Amino acid sequence: MADLSVSIHKLHLKNPVTTASGTYGYGEEFVEFMDVNRLSAIFVKGITLEHREGNPYPRMAETASGMLNSVGLQNRGVDYFIRHIYPRVRNFDTHIIPNVNGSTIEDYVTVTRRLNEVKGIEAIELNISCPNVKAGGMAFGINRKSAMEATRAVRDVYDKTLIVKLSPNVTDIADMARAVVDAGADAISLVNTFLGMAINAETRKPILGTITGGLSGPAIKPIALRMVWDVFKAVKVPVIGMGGIMNAADAIEFILAGSTAIQVGTANFIDPTVSIKILEGIKDYMSRHGVNSVNELIGGMQLS
């Protein structure tokens, strides 16, 4: 039996398959379709300090092999999450990893402090890369100095595994990765969505209510894969890769490029059972290739 387990700093994952924040709700939305306990972690919908209504409609535009979204972190706030949502999902046999957002560093710190006290939550994903909010979000993640400040401030109040989610909307992703690791990140997840836009030529109007939004899906996969490879070479901490993963072969590519674990995102919308198929496909790949542990594959792209 192949060993599927991997470690992200102190966080033990029973396999490398997790789901991306904003594409998998809180896990509950999928229980009618699949056994969510088979996932090693669920990165739940982005959480802010206060209740947020998100952006105006329309929030979605389908594009070639992908989609743009401008949801804008609609959520009920961290206290509601802790009091009402987490108790419903805490008994899943999978890690629930909150995705932490804020307009200011103080927001990030306050949300993190509250989550730090919750028993059962062993990691957070610090989102300094949401492209769909006016204040904060990606603004922190595209500037080296502010990315470090946000990471350091959160690090100071969090003792468990701190994963920092990077924006791909930067010139040098490896440099950003090094910066947040220097500031205390235990792991890096990437990529968040690429800033993009769509126009309806007939009406001459933007399709999204916010004009621009985040591009995801297979359209971004080759760029995401390259960025994972760049970051893998630049830092020593584990990398969690994502960006257009639709099937097991895509997942294997991300692992070979340096991902210790992967996040399945947009594909969940099309096939809510796809994450299980990806897990099965990884097992099948390992058996076909005589691989005993996933760890043998991480960064295992063969250059000659």
Partner 1 sequence: MKKIEDFTVIGHKWLNYSSYVIELEAPEPLSPVRPGNFAEIEIGHSPHVFLRRPFSIFNVNMINNTLSFYVKVIGEGTRALGRARKGDKVNIIYPLGNAFTIPEKNKILVVAGGSGIAPFILYGKELQNHNKSATFLIGARKAEDIVLIEMFRPYGDILIITEDGLLGEKGMVTQHSIFRHDDFPCDHIVTCGPEPMMKAVAGLARKKNISCEVSLENTMACGFGACLCCIVETVDGNKCVCTEGPVFNINQLTWQT
Active site residues: 130
* Nearer Cβ to partner 1 (184/209): 209
Residue 65 as a binder of partner 1 (CB under 8 A): the answer is yes
> Which one of 25, 184, 206, 299 is in contact with partner 1 (CB under 8 A)?
25
| Residue labelled with tokens 């959520």 | 75
In this structure, are residues 244 and 3 in contact, taking their beta carbons and an 8 Å threshold? no
149 closest CA partner among 185, 191, 100: 185
Q: Could you say which of 15, 40, 69, 263 contacts partner 1 (CB under 8 A)?
A: 69
Q: CA 30 → CA 15, 34, 274, distances in Å? A: 19, 6, 11
When binding is defined by CB under 8 A, the residue of 77, 184, 206, 272 that contacts partner 1 is: 272
Q: Is 57 in the site for partner 1 (CB under 8 A)?
A: yes
Among 85, 19, 99, smallest CA distance to 265 is for 19
Using CB under 8 A as the binding rule, whether residue 217 contacts partner 1 is answered as: yes
CA distance 142 to 144: 7
Q: Is 92 in the site for partner 1 (CB under 8 A)?
A: no
Instruction: Determine which residue in the list 12, 29, 120, 134 makes contact with partner 1, applying CB under 8 A.
Output: 29
Residue 32 region, left (φ>0) first, then alpha (ψ -120 to 50), else beta? alpha
* Binding of partner 1 by 157 (CB under 8 A): no
From 119-127, 157-165, 166-174, 268-276, span contacting partner 1 (CB under 8 A): 268-276
Q: Does 23 engage in binding with partner 1 (CB under 8 A)?
A: yes
Among 36, 39, 67, 251, binds partner 1 (CB under 8 A): 67
By CB under 8 A, the count of residues binding partner 1 is 33
Q: Check residue 206 and give left, alpha or beta (phi > 0: left; psi -120 to 50: alpha).
A: beta
Peptide bond into 6 cis (omega under 30): no
- Helix, strand and coil percent figures for the chain, each rounded to 5: 35, 20, 45
- Asked whether position 66 contacts partner 1 by CB under 8 A, the answer is yes
Q: Which of residues 31-50 bind partner 1 (CB under 8 A)?
A: 32-33, 45
- Give yes or no for residue 54 binding partner 1 (CB under 8 A): yes
Tokens of 163: 């994963």
Q: Which residue, 26 or 232, has its beta carbon nearer to partner 1?
A: 26
Question: Which residue, 224 or 239, has its beta carbon nearer to partner 1?
Answer: 224
Look at the block and give the residue holding tokens 């909307």: 169
62 contributes a contact to partner 1 by CB under 8 A? yes
Interhelix angle 144-157/105-116, nearest 10 degrees: 30
Q: In the set 4, 71, 138, 190, which binds partner 1 (CB under 8 A)?
A: 71
The residue written with tokens 């088979």 in the block is 38
Residue closer to partner 1 (CB basis): 209 or 299: 209
Note the residues at the interface with partner 1 (CB under 8 A): 22-25, 29-30, 32-33, 45, 53-54, 57-67, 69, 71, 74, 217, 266, 268-273
